[in-house]
Amino acid sequence: MFVDSVWQGKGSLSVTIYDIAKMAGVSPSSVSRVINQRPGVNTETRQLILKLLEKLNYSPNALARGLVYQSSKTIGILVADIRNIHHTDGAYHIERELITQGYCCIILNTGIDDAEKVHSIEILSHRRVEGVVMMGSVFQSDAVKAAISQSLKDVPVAIVNGWLDLPNVYGILSDEQGGVSACVEHLVSKGRRHIAFICDQPYNPSNTLKESGYLNSMRQWEKDPKAWSYRTENSLEGGYQATLKVLGEHPSVDGIIYSVDLLAAGGLQALHAKRIAVPGRLSIIGINNSTYAEICSPTLTSLDNKRMDASILAARMVIDHINGKSNTRRIMLLPDLIVRKST
């Protein structure tokens, strides 16, 4: 069995291995053996075929090759919200890592609804991808687990900052609970005692861990830290309005931790509008260590939850699985607090 291919050159004509075979006066199977570097073709004939391939700028048809060798050389990347810079940055690093291994990527924007995520998984299954990387703990759900079991049971799946207990699933997690506790400790070391927490919605396993880290660490300083925990939409405006609400309900607030840098940027705008000095009167911390942290004024102290490292590791774990190499199925990365001028 041999693989057909086409010439992608000038004009509308296409050249197949049958055309090459006719020009060389050999069988199509001989052309296929030369293309795929297999034995069975004498040196003189091989050189003739190679010269024709070069002359015609001949390239293999990837779909045809996949049908023969059961290999699509394609990896799917699922992102719940393509507007989320943290996840799209991760997808970029995954794609860059995979392309060095000869793979191409399909990136799907799934939305946050479970039905949409399941539909995207089915699309990847129909596309016969060889592996899948999912960005974020939002994919850590029963519906996604069932869809993987049904549609991707023989395909390696890596979840960045998430985990599902399936034999073909790998989880690359970040200790965000411990990381937020470190954020509280940092603010306390700066003399802050009245610290609020503002978290983006919708809630997901990652946000649950972040809030848990905040609540556990703040109980020694506040009788009811839950009253200092707020939720808002993930946007500049969300961070702005939630910060105003904190200031109105807790005038003594002297520190705020935001679940993502984007909220912190919005919060910083609100503090500027209220002429509240940062970090003089109030210190703030974001999470993700994204570009937002570096362009804020003052620059934003932020928890680096190792999303770039996790993304590259996810890509490598998928490739290792494809190549038959064993790997630990769940890895925890330790975040670092990047201290800047906002604290």
Position 61 scores a pLDDT of 57
Closest CA to 69 of 39, 25, 36: 36
* Same domain assignment for residues 299 and 180: yes
| pLDDT value, residue 173 | 96
The angle formed by the CA atoms of residues 319, 95 and 303, to the nearest 5 degrees, is: 100
What is the SS3 assignment for 332?
A: strand
Task: Single out the residue of 237, 248, 236 nearest to residue 276, CA to CA.
Answer: 248
Lookup: tokens for 86:
């943290």
Q: What is the pLDDT of residue 60?
A: 61
112 with 169, same domain: the answer is yes
CA distance 39 to 58: 20
Regarding whether 283 and 193 lie in a shared domain, the answer is yes
Number of domains in the chain: 3
Residue with tokens 């970090």: 279
Q: For position 87, what pLDDT does the model report?
A: 87
DSSP 245-256: HHHHH-TT--EE
Residues in Cβ contact with 34 at an 8 Å cutoff, skipping those fewer than 6 apart = 41, 46, 49, 50, 53
Note the pLDDT of residue 2.
44
Element (H, E) at 107: strand 104-109
The predicted pLDDT at position 238 comes to 97
Residue 70's pLDDT is: 53
Indicate if the alpha-carbon torsion angle 148, 154, 160, 163 is positive or negative.
positive
- Whole-angstrom CA distances from 32 to 27, 28, 47, 55, 66 are 9, 6, 14, 17, 14
What pLDDT sits at residue 20? 85
Query: What is the CATH number for 81?
Result: 3.40.50.2300
Q: How confident is the model at residue 102, as a pLDDT?
A: 87
93 and 43 assigned to the same domain: no
Q: Is residue 339 part of a domain?
A: no
Model-level pTM?
0.78
Residue 343 lies in a domain: no
pLDDT tens, residue order, the chain (343 aa)? 444 444 444 433 467 778 888 899 998 888 888 877 788 889 999 899 888 888 887 766 554 555 444 557 899 999 999 888 888 899 999 999 998 888 999 999 999 899 999 999 999 999 899 999 999 999 999 999 999 999 999 999 999 999 999 999 999 999 999 999 999 999 999 999 999 999 998 778 999 999 999 999 999 998 899 999 999 999 999 999 999 999 999 999 999 999 999 999 999 999 999 999 999 999 999 999 999 999 999 999 999 999 999 999 999 999 999 999 988 999 999 999 999 999 9
* Euclidean distance between CA atoms 26 and 40, whole angstroms: 12
- CATH number of the domain enclosing 41: 1.10.260.40
Quick one: pLDDT at residue 56? 80
- Map tokens 């003089």 to a residue: 280
Task: Mark whether 229 and 285 lie in a shared domain.
Answer: yes
CA dihedral (250, 240, 284, 279) in degrees, to 10, reads: -90
Q: Is the alpha carbon torsion for 248, 84, 314, 309 positive or negative?
A: negative
Does 193 share its domain with 289? Answer: yes
| Distance (Å, whole) CA 262 – CA 236 | 6
Instruction: Write out the residue range of the structural domain in which residue 24 sits.
Output: 5-68
In a shared domain, residues 290 and 312: no
